[in-house]
Structure 1
Amino acid sequence: MAQAITLAADAPMLSAANTGFMLICSALVMLMTPGLAFFYGGMVRVKSTLNMLMMSFISLGIVTILWVLYGFSVAFGDDKGSLVGWNFDWVGLSDIGLTELWDGYTIPVFVFLVFQLMFAVLTPALISGALADRVKFTAWALFVALWVTVVYFPVAHWVWGSGGWAFELGVIDFAGGTAVHINAGAAALGVILVIGKRIGFKKDPMRPHSLPLVMLGAGLLWFGWFGFNAGSWLGNDDGVGALMFVNTQVATGAAVLGWLAYEKIRHGAFTTLGAASGAVSGLVAITPAGGAVSPLGAIAVGLIAGVLCAMAVGLKYKLGYDDSLDVVGVHLVGGIIGSLLIGFFATGKGQSDVAGLFYGGGLDQFWKQCAGVFGVLAYSLVASAVLALLIHKTIGMRVSEDEEVAGIDQAEHAETAYDFSGAGGGAARTPASSPAAPAESKKVDA
């Protein structure tokens, strides 16, 4: 009886504060998907704006339903061979108690699963930036459904699920450097190698149509990323979540400076697109590392990521692959940088007592990080390419050449992002028979 009393006393109890905090973090991560839509939407030409927005938004619908039906069970259910999870009671989320706690934490299972749902929604949306201007919307929707089933759900189990091979190996990934960013970046590379380049790649100007929209999207991503990163400690009261919050801000600021400095030296200007892209590269790189490094380490991670990602985005022109909005250069490269630098900058005083090379820990953790990074990269690259090839050979992945040239928004959505037909205000509202019509028309023409 005494032992039972002790165990009951030691058992975690539901915390209203942690529950509320995690619900807020979940909402912040959800905001990242529309933020990403704006970020990508501003980077494309006018004729592709709506399609870019829709490629992100559709993930909110598709992945949510699949997560309820079986995704949560595959990602976080009982381990099956270190590759997938499964818990039949979680299929459809029908047998989860409202106050049932998540795996020794002080938050309900429902709170944990909705937080992780937002990660699952965002990850395939990241891929879409590499495919701008040329993919059928129905093919993209099918790809999202297949990809999260075959790639994201199992990889999430590898990295975060109890019994997953990367988890058991000791790979550190605080909030998704491997499971989210390397996974999405490698998938993007696999798909674009299958579907090919945009018409006019390296010949026609393909500049962003709205840099203010890009900056708005980057700001929303930065804001939401605090929930993405700090929330991944699930409300524990040991200060690691606060460290992650600080490191998120520090690394991102450092990456902006690093990217802009490289850009000024290389191209002679500080661009708004560079500032926005630099911010995202820093957010990506600190995502796996922020709970393991100090703020000084976060500065190093951010600076290195900002410079190397800025260099990496130019590789598509040298190597000839058409990564439309630099998903490979920012997310794949940034995720690799952040994950591997843990092996050098981990202090042993954050989320675990594991120390990196610069803190006396040798290279043991670095090799573990390499295994996680390249295991996820290889699987996602190959599996994503195979899925894209299957779709490409059946229903077709790309729109027709005429539709691509004319604009994918009109072809796929029967809409355009901007309607200028009413420009001038009064002229559009004045009846042709009105005496004022000629004067108003002259005013508009002027």
Structure 2
Amino acid sequence: RAVGTGSITSRHPHATTWNYCPQFERRSELRTLFSTSLGSAHSRILLLNIEQGPEPAMAPASISRTVAAVLLCWIAERSAAGPSSSNRLDELERPFFNIAHMVNSIKEVDQYLRLGANAIEADVTFQSDGTAKQTFHGSPCDCFRNCYMRENLVDYLEYIRKVTGTADAKYKNRVALLFLDLKVSDLPAPSKLKAGKDIAKKLLEHLWYNVDVNNTVNVLLSIGHVTDKDVFKGVIETLMKNGDPAIAERVGFDVGLNDPLEDISKMYSELGIDHNRWQGDGVSNCLSLFRPANRLKQALRYRDSRTDRSYADKVYHWTIDLSSAIRTSIRLGVDGIITNYPERVSTVIMEDPFKRAVKLASPQDTPWKKANVELLMPGGGGSPFTAVLGDVSEVLQQFWAYLVTRLSGHIFRRRSSREYDAIAVDPPMSPRELAEQRYYRWLHKNFA
């Protein structure tokens, strides 16, 4: 080393070898990094190959020492730069969307986020002229659910903005996606374009207005069938007229009611939508155990292929409530699950081996990007008897919680959304939450 230069020069007999790593000034740096990466025994062998006794000046390094130096430098560079994207744990985990189903009232927003959801799904109903009116599902809906919760859509969107849109918001880092199921299939054909324009206008004015772009909530808009495509036209026209590309990138598209995938792909091509596309498959929780997975697997192949039909950026499964079915869906490689029991999804994700394969998506995880990590998941474990016993236990829990909720509904009955919104403290636990809390305490006491 030339004194005071801070770099290896030709005065060192092995300058040719050491210059393979000019970014490291001291051999001690390489030794430390390499020992950390490969272990002390292997590092000593390669370092000895480089640091053998003196050679005549200007003599070229031996082939073995050159190879050793190149290998050592490569490993040292990788170690100094930190773990690569291929083996960093956080990037090996697929962002996963735990979507709470049918969250159609403000009080349910709090309830389901407390139960572990990082995304919420609401049903938006429209007047016959295409005006978006309220969040409401109606009958029939899922087993063991109240189908009649509702909220004025403007109140609903403004509440979401309130709890997510500021630096100190209550759920600032909790809501990765707002999934709006647009009930437009029964609208007259001329009203569908207006419906798209109206829902986009309400998002701009009541959800995203005066919110920093880093805090704006991503919204997935879902129509029932490809015949409702004029709704998407209206959305796109309104967003383009708004002129803010950052806001436009916050919107995604989905066709939710199991149309043929080829027809959906053609629809996106006709509309010029080439990104931010989700694809779901499923049926009501009453029947989801009996629905074949053929279409879901086809959607996953669409997502993972590189052909012209590869339109799906994310694939989700609905409505999945039992833990055994949740495990099966994650093993198939879905990006999200719509569920009435987000606490079960959160629990399953924390199990081995799922916790090393998926993670709950945060608002910083874009819901529009295809996961570039292949999900390698071992087969299911445990006996069929254990799985059936668990399913029966969960169904009984659902039935009990439903009864308690229906019988105790007066807890929230007389409170309007605006009164609820004005409450500064956390709202009281719902009857369902109280029933589930007692149930889990009983399980822990008797079986833990």
What TM-score, normalized to structure 2?
Answer: 0.25
Indicate the structure (1 or 2) with the bigger Cα radius of gyration. Answer: 2
The structure where strand makes up a greater share of residues is 2
